Structure 1
Amino acid sequence: MAGGGFALAPAHGVEFETKITPIVIISCIMAATGGLMFGYDVGISGGVTAMPEFLKKFFPVVYGRVKSGAKKHNYCKCDNQGLQLFTSSLYLAGLTAAFFASYTTRKLGRRPTMLIAGMFNIVGVVLNAAAQDLAMLIAGRILLGCGVGFANQAVPLFLSEIAPTRIRGGLNILFQLNVTIGVLVSSSPILIEGRWGWRLSLGLAGIPALLLMVVALLVTETPTSLVQRGLLDEGKTVLRQIRGTVNVEPEFTNLLEASSLAKEVKHPFRNLFQSRNRPQLLIAIALQVNNPLLLYSKTR
């Protein structure tokens, strides 16, 4: 169970009858723009903090250290609480928003959650691009973090549930691919520096956010979500559309069984701390702790 939904797997390794329909391919490619939004929002903080005009306006102390050319480690030059808050506020907001996104994903569906993510990002982008002081800048980053939290909850789940089982891994990796592309673009030298360069750079984050909102309005809801919310007839109709066949009874039956099992899980977060799940939990924590340490060691 993940993000308020549940993963669907073929019963006893049986492949369900399905076709690779255009609606599946298009929906997955478009929905993966949530990863592009995430990657750009994460990477752009490093891009704009390298711009002198941005530092001069919001972090003059850091600007002075950088301009002095003193032979200090970058960590010492950027040792500033305001700058640290600018960077970390997105992650803290994303972590908090993910808990609320779990509820909306389960109760409202994957599409509305993606729409909420896009709306959060649009407002955050406007505040960031028009920021006049640090408070306005941080408020925008917090809203961007909320958008990231909602998108990261709904988009991978949407991709997993709408894709046929035999190509699910390939389509689901589109989210991670777009995250990487977003980080790459946000660090690209084509971003214009100068007096208004940082505003333009922060404003460009609105493009993937708008794309995600368009996606949320155009794509169909997943059969899994519809079944989970008791809309069985609608869920079967959508399943026929995205699989390109009328013979969906085996997969639909599997959906019903998975939904029934998911509802029996009353305390999913409490289950994480059970002894049988402890190794996976420790590995996940270790991965998150080690990544920043590796990045820091490379800068030394």
Structure 2
Amino acid sequence: MSFREEGDDGRGDLRKPFLHTGSWYRMGSRQSSMMGSAQTIRDRSISVLACVLIVALGPIQFGFTCGYSSPTQSAITKDLKLTVSQFSLFGSLANVGAMVGAIASGQIAEYIGRKGALMIAAIPNIIGWLAISFARDISFLYMGRLLEGFGVGIISYTVPVYIAEIAPQNLRGGLGSVNQLSVTIGIMLSYLLGLFVGWRVLAVLGVLPCLILIPGLFFIPESPRWLAKMGMTDDFEASLQVLRGFDTDITLEVNEIKVSSLGFCSLTDVHYIKPYDITNYSLCLCSFHNVHLLLIVTPYLYGISSGNAATVGVGAIQVIATAISTWLVDKTGRRVLLIVSSSGMALSLLLVAVSFFSKGFVSEDSTAYGIFGILSVVGVVCMVIAFSLGIGPIPWLIMSEILPIKIKGLAGSVATLANWLLSWVITMTAPLLLDWSSGGTFTFYMLMCAFTVIFVAIWVPETKGKTLEEIQFSFR
């Protein structure tokens, strides 16, 4: 029985797609002789890639929000006469808003669809950027930052889930990693544009990704797995057909998805405890390796002035390393990249920690002091590369892959909330720890990376080359 035929209480209407744009691809799937635009989406990769590129505007917005405060700090502080603590609060409010968005993200995506959730996320982002752009006092800055964070919290959950649910198994890793690649592109863009425009103009430019995303959502199909879960059989099959190509036999995949979407379950179901725990631990460990935080504080602690140009250079390194990870993830697998990334970060942080400890035993005028300073910078650059190869993109990919469709909304919300909450705690406490003992703080981060290697080797399954349904069945 179709979901739209269930019950008379009206609740079924709440779960219809927020953006019901299925007519164009239903018509196209039935008329395979259509020319023009329909011909361009017959190829599986082109069709899915087009969807990924559109929703990737969300993570670009995510990255732009994360990077905005770095190049604008001095100008905003001067123009609005803010104290250091007021600006610090402004920067941290994005995390607070993201926690609220994370709580709501899973349920929003479950009730109105993945595309509807992205639409909901885009609107507060636009309002938030405009509030910051026209701010005349601190209250508008705070309100805008909270609204941006709320939208980012929804985006951080919904985009990787949507990509995982539409991608074919042989491309899912690379396409899923586009999420983090887009975040790094957004960060680099905010750094780069911040060199040339003022903070108000930069805030206006921050509106652009969402302004393009909103109309783009009307031209892509809804997640077929969400449609199947909602009982919308016609839309589900049509959506999957256009994603796989009009000439592709989707019978087997349709049957697998239908079987996996039957029945009900809860987080206490013994079959789902392990994937839920793996998701939580992975995203929390990702928070501990918060490379963006370390990039902000370490140049000052080394006594080396990085400047905005150097910040752009670091952003470019992140983009390149994440692009390499996107290319490798479907070739080497998730586990290998996570282990290599965590090991590389552990060694890099060990080098940084040793440099800081050693600088305490030599004179500031000595050659050795300068050498240790250079080694610490080298360690941070290596850490950024190692982070971008695995710890940055893959935990979000794993979350979207191993959580079964039946519990994805609630479990994904909890895991995303845990990630943002821990990120906020670390962001607030790390400067104090670095003030107390720089070498000790980096040693702690190094030990967490070493623990991540052990955790991945023992606990995290390899999902390369498997369908989402095969991954779900493997936990039984």
TM bin, normalised by shorter chain, reads 0.7 to 0.9
What does residue 131 of structure 1 align with? 135
RMSD: 2.6
Aligned-partner residue type, residue 35 of structure 1: P
Residue 189 to residue 129, structure 1, CA distance change in 2 (3 Å): closer
Q: Distance in 2 between matches of 1:198 and 1:277?
A: 41
Matched position secondary structure for 2:107: helix
Cα drift, residue 277 of structure 1:
5.9
- 2:72–2:194 CA contact under 8 A, matched in 1: no
What does residue 266 of structure 2 align with? 266
- 1:192–1:201 CA contact under 8 A, matched in 2: no
After superposition, give the CA deviation of every residue in 1:127-153 in whole Å (9 maximum; x if it has no partner). Answer: 111111100111011111111112112
Look at both structures and tell me which one has the larger radius of gyration over its CA atoms.
2
What does residue 285 of structure 1 align with? 284
What does residue 231 of structure 2 align with? 230
After superposition, give the CA deviation of every residue in 1:49-104 in whole Å (9 maximum; x if it has no partner). Answer: 132xx21233444xxxxxxxxxxxxxxxx4x1x21220111111111111211111
Cα drift, residue 114 of structure 1:
0.8
Matched position secondary structure for 1:27: helix
Aligned pairs (5 A) from 1:133-212? 133-188=137-192, 191-193=195-197, 197-212=198-213
How many pairs were matched up? 257
Cα drift, residue 121 of structure 1:
0.8
- 1:222–1:238 CA contact under 8 A, matched in 2: yes
Q: Which has the higher contact order (CA 8 A, sep 6+)?
A: 1
Q: Distance in 2 between matches of 1:222 and 1:89?
A: 31
Q: Distance in 1 between matches of 2:275 and 2:107?
A: 25
Q: Distance in 1 between matches of 2:45 and 2:178?
A: 17
Residue 276 to residue 139, structure 1, CA distance change in 2 (3 Å): closer
Aligned pairs (5 A) from 1:1-300? 20-51=44-75, 54-61=76-83, 78=84, 80=85, 82-188=86-192, 191-193=195-197, 197-244=198-245, 245-260=247-262, 264-267=264-267, 281-291=280-290, 294-295=294-295, 296-297=297-298, 299-300=300-301
Q: Distance in 1 between matches of 2:230 and 2:278?
A: 32
Q: Distance in 2 between matches of 1:24 and 1:249?
A: 18
Matched position secondary structure for 1:100: helix
Residue 228 to residue 280, structure 1, CA distance change in 2 (3 Å): closer
Residue 111 to residue 282, structure 1, CA distance change in 2 (3 Å): closer
Aligned-partner residue type, residue 289 of structure 1: F
- 1:191–1:201 CA contact under 8 A, matched in 2: no
Cα drift, residue 283 of structure 1:
5.0
After superposition, give the CA deviation of every residue in 1:151-204 in whole Å (9 maximum; x if it has no partner). Answer: 1121111111111111111112111111101101111166435xxx11001111
Cα drift, residue 290 of structure 1:
3.8
- 2:127–2:147 CA contact under 8 A, matched in 1: yes
- 1:40–1:182 CA contact under 8 A, matched in 2: yes
- 1:93–1:142 CA contact under 8 A, matched in 2: yes
- 1:43–1:182 CA contact under 8 A, matched in 2: yes
Aligned-partner residue type, residue 176 of structure 1: Q
Gaps of 5+ in 1: 1-17, 62-77
Q: Distance in 1 between matches of 2:278 and 2:137?
A: 45
Cα drift, residue 291 of structure 1:
2.2
Gaps of 5+ in 2: 1-41, 302-476
What does residue 387 of structure 2 align with? none
Matched position secondary structure for 1:109: helix
Aligned-partner residue type, residue 213 of structure 2: L
Q: Distance in 2 between matches of 1:140 and 1:19?
A: 41
- 1:109–1:221 CA contact under 8 A, matched in 2: yes
**TM-score (structure 2 length as normaliser):** 0.50
Q: Distance in 2 between matches of 1:246 and 1:98?
A: 36
- 1:192–1:200 CA contact under 8 A, matched in 2: no
Q: Distance in 1 between matches of 2:139 and 2:249?
A: 56
- Identity, % of aligned positions: 27
Aligned-partner residue type, residue 256 of structure 2: N
Cα drift, residue 287 of structure 1:
3.2
Matched position secondary structure for 2:170: helix
Residue 60 to residue 31, structure 1, CA distance change in 2 (3 Å): closer
Aligned-partner residue type, residue 249 of structure 1: T
Q: Distance in 2 between matches of 1:37 and 1:141?
A: 13
Matched position secondary structure for 1:166: coil
Residue 161 to residue 183, structure 1, CA distance change in 2 (3 Å): same
